Structure 1
């Protein structure tokens, strides 16, 4: 990505949009761009957090391991998302691993470099704090939903979230333009694979979604929003 295009892209993101021209230029100049291949690891759980990243293209998933040794998919990051903000706080280990779902381009900023820039441009520190608060609020909201909502609500909310991040309009709905397995969905909404499979199968019969191997199309977004909101749905 050319420098002028990179700056235009970054300037629209919440972390960068409030910065003065000098602070923005200093922050942009301190980063680097690199590319991961599909399924390539960005970092492992327990690695020291030395950098945080902005997704320029592609997608990254956070992964962890269950007590049985199974890989669990925690969260997906798409274009414009930031991850690894923990690196700015100091020498802490990453709590989860991260890997590319497909070929992915990232903009990396070293936490140590940002900490030095904050001494010259305190506004960068305020922008980082704001971003961390948003991440914490999103995490709390997600945890609250897992305890307060039915599986169907959580699943509909997850599909709508993915549609917003990765959706591509098609003739009869929205195609999720990223590989998402039913096990990944189960991990994300904190339920079993069987529950996700059963729910998607019924929604497919109702004409609300279309499911194929590793791919999902949303055919009735309005109904999925109704389910996500916890409202009753009339069938037939």
Structure 2
């Protein structure tokens, strides 16, 4: 179960500060933020807690303040297909909120999480008050769709090795998609089985490709810690190699 921090005096201050640090809300006036904060609450989840199940009613969307959340489909047999891993500064649930449909997948806390829940009534009210706010919401949804299309392209056209290399390069890239040069050390954000599912691979396939990349001298693996001796070599290896 979630521990919920309401929107009383101290809670409202925390909510407004969280809204102000997020791109979609950053340009709102103080009066707008105060009004929006009345429809928000801060929620805390322990690792493994379920935020919602497929079929649950959607009453708003979430902004991740800290931690990570997994979005996944679950089969009748209990098998999961991870669709997305949501990180701090990212939101989820907007599309379902606008469609006014139940959730089509489940959400689970991968780590201890601090989230901001924004009620749909508060969002709809703000959209009526500020057309620019509507544009930012649409831009965010368009970027989510763009990323999903990119994922579909990678899953359909790229080998397992290429998917993993693209993932590693993405993990070390900045917000503009620029990859640093030379030696880079990264830490996988969650366990390998979750990342493998995200890439539409089995955990065994994921681990095998990591070992192959290590044997080729392109990476060094120590648990979830991965060292890339030269990012240029790793990027160049996309043009060939095993599947």
TM-score clears 0.5: yes
CA drift at 1:177: 5.7
Aligned residue among 167, 177, 180 for 2:191: 180
Structure 1 contact 56–104 (Cα < 8 Å) conserved: yes
User: Hey, what does 2:202 align to over in structure 1?
Assistant: 192
- Structural mapping, 1:11-160, within 5 Å: 11-66=20-75, 68-160=77-169
**Counterparts of 2:215 and 2:26, CA distance in 1:** 44
**TM-score, structure 1 normalization:** 0.80
**TM-score, structure 2 normalization:** 0.78
**Counterparts of 1:66 and 1:209, CA distance in 2:** 35
Q: CA RMSD in A?
A: 2.7
* SS of residue in 2 equivalent to 1:56: strand
**Counterparts of 1:189 and 1:81, CA distance in 2:** 19
* SS of residue in 2 equivalent to 1:218: strand
CA drift at 1:52: 0.6
**Counterparts of 1:27 and 1:48, CA distance in 2:** 21
> Unaligned stretches of 5+ in structure 1?
166-171
**Counterparts of 1:163 and 1:47, CA distance in 2:** 35
